Amino acid sequence: MNFFTTIMGSGAAIPTLARHCSAQSVNINGFRMLLDCGEGTQNQLRAYHQKLQSFSLVCISHLHGDHLFGLPGLLSTMHLCGRTEPIDVVGPKGLKAILEPIFLFSNTILNYELRITELEGNDYRQVFEERRCKVFAFPLRHSVPTYGYVIEEIPRSANSAPRRYAYCCDTAYDETILPYIQNVNLLCMESTFANDFQAVADEKLHCTAAQAATLAQKANAKQLLLTHFSARYKELDTLMAEAQAIFPAAIAAHDGERYGI
Ligand SMILES: [Zn+2]
Ligand SMILES: [Zn+2]
């Protein structure tokens, strides 16, 4: 039974050649979904051999460009390549107000059904289900309304415990999310900065690697995947040392790499 995420972008707001804007391709026993869709995601999907039409769901964390600006282009390419299957897109309120005029004014009449679910408020809720997985959303703390997602597999055998993957990007340090991510198999946390930029992290409502590790430890996560690294860090040694001092099972996301859940 496969359950893994492949990183399309592990960079923060400004993409670099090594790290693109946020996006992940998640495979749950053959069901394919995207977490975030920053600028350039469709090229990254091609670069890492992820079939564009294979995705049935896109979950957008928030409406900052580095998580969203690839979505209109990807949806348009799906249309141009002959897609007829519907696609579900989940994200904060405002998603429709952004996407619909883009297609209207570019005279793009999609061949397929675009089903948009907008999130509002602070409840933990289920936002999607099909036979292989359920997806839940919960609020994060950032400068615009932002949601984390938990993807829970539906095991084939009733005896096996479902594996869970939590994605939290972008967010300030916030212990109120702990009940939603408790005991997850893999916790993906943004870690934009190292400790020396704690003041900037606080101001911009981002986490440091050490804060991400503290949340992983308090949530009793099995493993921690750090992502959303500021373009100022060419090497991640300092961030990883600071994280692993608190939570040894911390690893750094790299574009194109695949991580099992
Ligand atoms: Zn971001
Ligand atoms: Zn953001």
249: domain CATH number is 3.60.15.10
Residue 66 annotated among the catalytic residues of the structure? yes
Catalytic residue among 36, 66, 88, 255: 66
Ligand 1 centre distance from Cα of residue 253 (Å): 15
**Is the pTM of the predicted complex or chain greater than 0.95?**
yes
How many domains does the chain divide into? Answer: 1
**Those residues with Cβ within 8 angstroms of residue 232's Cβ, 6 or more apart along the chain or in another chain:** none
Do the beta carbons of residue 103 and residue 89 sit within 8 Å?
no
Q: Print the domain residue range for 156.
A: 3-260
Instruction: Return per-residue pLDDT of the chain as tens, 261 residues.
Output: 899 999 999 999 999 999 999 999 999 999 999 999 999 999 999 999 999 999 999 999 999 999 999 999 999 999 999 999 999 999 999 999 999 999 999 999 999 999 999 999 998 999 999 999 999 999 999 999 999 999 999 998 888 999 999 999 999 999 999 999 999 999 999 999 999 999 999 999 999 999 999 999 999 999 999 999 999 999 999 999 999 999 999 999 999 999 999
Ligand 1 centre distance from Cα of residue 68 (Å): 9
Ligand nearest to the CA of 205: 2
Ligand 1 centre distance from Cα of residue 84 (Å): 31
**Those residues with Cβ within 8 angstroms of residue 43's Cβ, 6 or more apart along the chain or in another chain:** none
